Amino acid sequence: MGYAGGLWLLWDDAQIKLRVIEDTFQEIHALVEVNGSPFAILSFVYGSPSRDRRKILWANLVNLSSLHNLPWLVGGDFNEILSSDEKWGGPKFTWCNKRPNGQIVFERLDRFLGNAAWVNLFPHSVNFHLPRIRSDHNPMLLRSRPIQGNRNARPFRCERIWINHPDFLNVVQEAWGPSGNLSSKLVALKIKAIEWNRVSLGNIFHKKKILTRRLNGIGIAMNSRPSPQLALLEQELSIQYRKILLSEEELWASKARLDWLHLGDGNTKFLLTSVINRRRQNRILGLKNNMGEWIQDPVEIKNMIVNYFIECFSHSQVTDFPSHLCHPNAHSALSGVNCSIPNLDEIKRALWDLKPFKAAGVDGFQPGFFQKYWDIVGITIINKIQECDRKSVEAVNRVLSSFLAMSGLMVNESKSSIWFSPNSSDDERSMILNAIPFRRSVSPGTYLGFPLGKGTKKRDYENIINKIRDKEFHKPWAKVCAARMSLNSGKGSVLGKCLKVGSEWVIKGTKTILNSGCNTNFWLAEWSTLGNIRSTISGSLNLGEEALTVADLRIPSDKWNWDQFSFVFLDSIKKFINAVPFGASNSSDKSVWKFDSKGVFTLNSAYKAIESSKCSPSSPNLTWIWKLKCHRRQKFFIWLCVKDALPHKSNLFHRGINLNAFCSLCGNQIESMEHIFKLCPVSSKVWEFAAPNLNFILDDDMVSWIRKNSFASTQVQFQVPHGTLFIYVLQQIWFFRNNAIFNNKDFDVPLCFRNALSKAAEFSHLAGNFGSGLVKEPVIIKWQVPPEGWWKINTDGSCHTPSYDIAAGGVIRDHSGNWILGFSKYIGGGPILCAELWAILFGLEQARRIGGAKVIVESDSLAAINLISDLNIPASHHYFPIISRCRSSLALFDDATLTHKFREVNQVADALAKFVVQSKCELTCFQSAPPFLAQAFWSDYFGHSFFRGRSFSFIDAG
C-alpha cells in the first residue's frame, strides 16, 4: 500500500486455530475456530484512500457474502463513514487528523461489523476503542467473552409461556387458597410455579431434541415396516412437536419484546437474533464516573449504581414551600372521585389498561398474569386495594399535617369526628383512632341540613323539608320552575329542551319482550324485529281491530290465528312475526331498551343510536381502512387522509385561522390534501424516486386513488406488498413535510423513500401473513358418544341471506351412537342467534316428549350456550323469553348439561337445519337417518377425526 498504510495479521496458535484463505491489497480473509466453537470467517480490511479502489473492496465483500453462510466478522479501517453524524464529537470516533492549526476533524473510519450468525455465536462480544498514542487512529479491541463478575441469583419472573400453559391454571388454583393475604398468596404461588416449571414444563429445547429424534426414528421404521400403530404414534408426536414449537416461539417472542407486531413472524432466527440484540443493548458494560473515567469492572459498576441511588433518595434539607404562590384548585367533581374508594370496575379497568407483558413488579408477576386469572385472583386484589390499612391512615394524617403547615390553618379536634362503617372490625377502629386524634361518631352527621352516608331514609330529610316549606317565596318560585321545565313550553330552558329530545328517544328506543302478550297492543307496540306492525301495512283497519293484543291472536304451540284479520298478511311480514319467542304465559310483558341486546339503557348505546340517525345513507363506508396491511398507527393516518382531517393549511384556513394558505414548500398552489400527496413538486420527486418499486394505479379522485393503491397486492422490493409500501410512503411524505416546515430540515427525497421501505419491510416480515395476532394450537376433534344411560342432542340453526329465513335442526343419539330421533323446523325470519336458541329449545322438547331422562346438549353457537348458562343475564335481554324456556326445559330432566362444540362435529344437525331452511317445512321428525345425512352420520358413528387449528391469544378478553 506504500505510504498510505497496510495490513499485518498476527495470531496465537495456542489460543485459536486460524487459516488464511484469501488476501488482496485491501483485505485478508481467514477461517478461524475459537475454543472448539463452530468455524467462522474473519475479514480484515484496510480501505484504500482512493475511491475507485474502495469500490473493488466492496465488490469483493459482496461476492464473499454470497459464497457462505458462516458466522462472519469484518473489521478494520474502511476509510468510509456511514452517515454525516459520524464526524466530530464523542468517543465513537476512531480517527483524528491532528492538525495543529485548530481545524480538527474527527471521523469514525474503523469498526467491526458482524452478521447475525456471528452475533448468535458470540453474543457477548464487545468492541472497545483504546486511546490514541502515536497513530492518528484509535486502536480497537474486540472482546468475545465478557468480564466475569459475581452473578447474582436471577430474580423471579412469571414467564408468558407459563401463563399460556393449560396446566398452570391448576398451579394457581392450588396456591390461591381461601386464607392469607395477597403477599402470602403470591409467595406461595411463586414457590409452586418454580417447582412446576422444573418438574412438569422442563426444558423445552431438550424436549424438542427428543421429539425430533423420535420422529426421525419413526420415519426410518415406516420406510421399512409401515404399520397403523406407528402412523398414530407419528401423528401424536407431530402434535406434541407443534406445541413445543409454539412454546418456543412464545418464549423467544417474550424475550424479544415483539408484542407490538403480532409476535414476530414465527419461530425463526429473527426471534433469536432479536433476543440477543435486546440483551446486548440492555447490558451495562461500562459507566463514566464523576472524574470522567470509564469503569468496566462489574463489582465497581454495581457499587457505583447503588451509591448513586442512595445519594439520590437520601434525605436532604429543603426550603419551606413558598406561601405567596397560588395553589391550584381541584374541581369539585374530581375531588369526589379522588376521595371515593375505587370500585370493582375501576380496579379492573386500571389493570386492563396496563400492557400485559411489560416490566413486572417486585413480586415478579406481570399484569398479564392478573388479567389471565382474574376470576381466581380478582377478589383478593380488590380487597387489598379497598381495605384501609396502617399505610392508608398514615397517608391521610401526613397529607392533613402538610396542608395545615402550608395553609396556616388549624383543625378543631373537639368538633372533628370519625364515623366507621358497620363492617369495620374492632382492630381497624382502634388502629385508626390511635393514629388520628379525632373522636368516634355513631352516625355520619349532616352537611347543610342534608344527611350524609348511604342508606338514608325518608324521615331523615323531614327537617330540611320543613325548613324549606317555611320559606314564603317557595310557592311563586315553584311556579316559575314548573313553567321553565314544561316540555310543552315554547320558551323552555336548555334542560327542558334536552329532556324533550331525550323523551322522544326514550319512546323510539323502547321495545317489548313478550311473555303472556296480554298487555301489548299487536299494532302499535314494537315487539318484533319489524318494529311497529301498523307501519308495515297501508289502509284502515276494521272496527275493533286496533284494540287487539298479541294474546288475542296467539294460539298454543307458538302459532298465530291469522283468520282473525280482515286482510291477508304478506309472507315477508308473517315470517318475522312467527319467529318472535314468547316467555312464561303467566307473566306480564316487559318494556326494554331496544338499542342494547341486554335491554338495559346505557349512554353509549343511546349516543350511537342518535349518531347513526344523523348519518346520511350515502355516507361512504370506510371499514376498508381497518383491513389494510399496515400498523394501526398508519391505518389511523389513512383514515385522517380519507376524511380530509389532516391539519394542512387549507383546512386551517377554513377553520378561521388567519394564515397564508399556499404550500410552504413550493408556494405555487393552495396546500390541500391532493396537493400535499400528488401535485406538490416535492412529493412528485418522491413518487418518481419510488417508481422502480411502485407501479401506481392512477385515479383522479383522491380517496379512490388511496384505496386502490393501498389494496394492491403485487410484491415489490424485499417481498413487500405494493399497498403496504404505498401507505408508508404517504406517511413519510407527511412526516418529512412537517420536519421541513417546522424544524427547518431538508426534505431528503431518497431518505424519505428509504425510511418508508424500511418500515414497510419491517412490518411485512414481522407481521407474517398479517394475521390477527392469534396463535394456532393444533387439536384433533371428533364426535364423542355420551355415557351409558345418557342421550346426546346436537342442534344447529341456519340463516339464509339476504332473505333472513331461519330454521332449526337437530339429532338425538344414544351412548352407542345409534340414531334415536332427528328433527327440523322452519322458524321464520330473524338473526342466526335466534335460530340457534330455537334449535336448542326444540331439541329439549323433543327429547322430553320421547322420554329422555339424562341429556347432553351440544351446539356450535358459543353465544347461545353462554346466554342459557349465564344466570346473570338480565330479564330485560331481548332473547330472555326463549332463554327462560330453555332453562325451564333443562330443569325437567333428571340431569342435563349444555356444552359448546366445533362445527366439524356438528355436521348432522347443520345438514338438517340447512335442509329445512330451503324447503320451509313445518316441524318434521326423522325416525332414521335420511339419505342426505348418511355420510355425516356414519362419519360420527365410526369416530372420524378432524384436525383443527384452535385459535387463542395470550391474554383472555376479561
- Do the beta carbons of residue 788 and residue 724 sit within 8 Å? no
Who wins on pLDDT, 325 or 648? 648
Q: What is the mean pLDDT of the chain?
A: 80
Give the pLDDT score at 328: 60
Q: Is 366 helix (H, G, I), strand (E, B) or coil?
A: coil
Give the pLDDT score at 731.
Answer: 94
What integer pLDDT is reported at residue 89 of this predicted model?
A: 40
**Contacts of residue 568, Cβ cutoff 8 Å, sequence gap at least 6:** 562
- Res. 826 pLDDT band, cuts 50 70 90: very high
pLDDT at 233: 82
Q: Could you say which DSSP state residue 82 is in?
A: S
Q: How many CA atoms lie within 13 A of 734 on its CB side?
A: 16
The confidence score (pLDDT) of residue 2 equals: 46
Which amino acid is residue 608, in one-letter code? K
Higher-scoring residue by pLDDT: 763, 796: 796
Residue 207 above 80 pLDDT? Answer: no
Average pLDDT of span 859-866: 94
Contacts 24+ apart (CB under 8 A), 443-448: 443/419, 444/419, 445/417, 445/419
Q: Is the peptide bond before 802 cis (omega within 30 degrees of 0)?
A: yes
Kindly state the helix (H) or strand (E) to which residue 857 belongs, with its residue range.
strand 854-859
pLDDT computed for residue 235 by the predictor: 81
How many whole angstroms separate alpha carbon 530 and alpha carbon 526?
Answer: 8
Q: Whose grid coordinates read 413445543?
A: 244
* pLDDT number for residue 946: 81
Least confident of 25-39, 142-156, 288-302, 586-600: 142-156
Residue 329 has pLDDT above 80, yes or no: no
The span from the CA of 169 to the CA of 372, in Å, is: 10
Which has more pLDDT, 940 or 83?
Answer: 940
Place of cell 476512531: 94
Q: Are 512 and 525 in contact (CB under 8 A)?
A: yes
Pick from 16-20, 401-405, 497-501, 939-943: least confident: 497-501
Sign (positive or negative) of CA dihedral 207, 213, 216, 220: negative
- Superfamily of domain 783-942, CATH level 4: Ribonuclease H-like superfamily/Ribonuclease H (3.30.420.10)
**CB environment 590-602: b (16+ within 10 A), e (fewer):** bbbbbbbbbbebe
Q: Is the pLDDT of residue 729 over 50?
A: yes
Which residue shows C-alpha cell 355415557? 787
Among residues 200, 194, 163, which one has the least CA distance to residue 376? 163
CA distance 553 to 570: 16
The larger pLDDT score, comparing residue 732 to residue 768, is at: 732
- What average pLDDT does this structure show over 900-928? 91
For the segment 795-807, what is each residue's pLDDT rounded down to a tens digit? 999 998 888 899 9
> What does the pLDDT read at residue 265?
41
Predicted local distance difference test score (pLDDT) of residue 201: 63
- Of 387-391, 623-627, 815-819, give the lowest mean pLDDT range: 387-391
Residue tagged 324485529 (cell numbers) = 529
Name the residue ranges covered by the structural domains of the chain: 2-143, 160-273, 388-457, 475-504, 509-594, 623-628+630-766, 783-942
For residue 486, the model assigns a pLDDT of 53
Query: How, if at all, do strands 854-859 and 791-800 pair?
Result: parallel
Instruction: Band the pLDDT of 953: cuts 50, 70, 90.
Output: very low
What does the alpha-carbon distance between residue 773 and residue 261 come to, in Å, rounded to a whole number? 8
Q: What percent of the chain has pLDDT over 70?
A: 81
- How many Cβ atoms from other residues are within 10 Å of residue 855's Cβ? 23
Q: What is the pLDDT of residue 297?
A: 80
Neighbours of 887 (CB within 10 A): 15
Q: Are 806 and 799 in contact (CB under 8 A)?
A: yes
Average pLDDT over residues 501-522: 86
Q: 127-136, 394-403, 757-766: lowest mean pLDDT where?
A: 127-136
159-200: pLDDT as tens digits: 777 787 778 888 888 888 877 788 888 888 888 888 887 776
Element housing 45 (H / E):
strand 40-46
Q: Please tell me the least confidently modeled range out of 71-75, 614-618, 944-948.
A: 614-618
Give, for 952, the enclosing helix (H) or strand (E): strand 946-952
Give the single-character DSSP code of 715: B
Mean pLDDT computed over 109-127:
78
pLDDT exceeds cutoff 90 at 302:
no
pLDDT in tens, 396-433: 888 888 888 887 788 887 778 888 777 777 777 888 88
Residue 73 is placed in which grid cell?
A: 466478522
pLDDT of residue 338: 67
| Model confidence, pTM | 0.47
Q: pLDDT digit string (tens) for 558-571?
A: 788 888 887 788 88
Q: How many helices (H) and strands (E) does the chain have?
A: 33, 29
Mean pLDDT of 891-900: 94
Res. 320: pLDDT tops 70: no
Band (144; pLDDT cuts 50, 70, 90): confident
Residue 812 has a pLDDT of 97
Whether the Cβ atoms of residue 909 and residue 811 lie closer than 8 Å to each other = yes
pLDDT score, position 205: 65
pLDDT number for residue 695: 74
- We find that the CATH architecture of domain 2-143 is 4-Layer Sandwich (3.60)
User: Which of 349, 419, 353 is CA-nearest to residue 388?
Assistant: 419
Q: Which residue has the higher pLDDT, 837 or 503?
A: 837
How far, in Å, CA of 758 to CA of 2, rounded? 41
**Which residues are CB-contacts of 599 (< 8 A; sequence separation ≥ 6)?**
513, 590, 592, 593, 874, 876, 877, 878, 880
pLDDT score of 67 more than 50: yes
Q: Are 753 and 729 in contact (CB under 8 A)?
A: yes
Confidence of residue 259 (pLDDT cuts 50, 70, 90): very low
Give the range with max mean pLDDT: 342-346, 406-410, 786-790: 786-790
Q: Given pLDDT bands bounded at 50, 70 and 90, which one contains residue 887?
A: very high
Residue 132: other Cβ atoms inside 10 A: 14
Residue 322 pLDDT > 60, yes or no? no
282: pLDDT strictly greater than 60: yes
Among the listed ranges 141-155, 521-535, 874-888, which one has the minimum average pLDDT value?
141-155
pLDDT of 261 higher than 50: no
3-state secondary structure of 176: coil
Tell me the average pLDDT across 43-53: 86
Please choose, from the candidates 525, 529, 501, 510, the residue with its C-alpha nearest in 3D space to the C-alpha of residue 593.
Answer: 510
- As a whole number, mean pLDDT of residues 934-957 equals 71
Alpha-carbon span 629 to 245, nearest angstrom: 26
Nearest to 419 by CA among 451, 394, 450, 395: 451
Summarised one tens digit per residue, pLDDT across range 435-474 is 777 888 777 777 777 777 666 677 777 777 777 766 644 4
DSSP 677: I
Which of residues 675 and 419 earns the better pLDDT score? 675
The average pLDDT across 292-321 equals 77
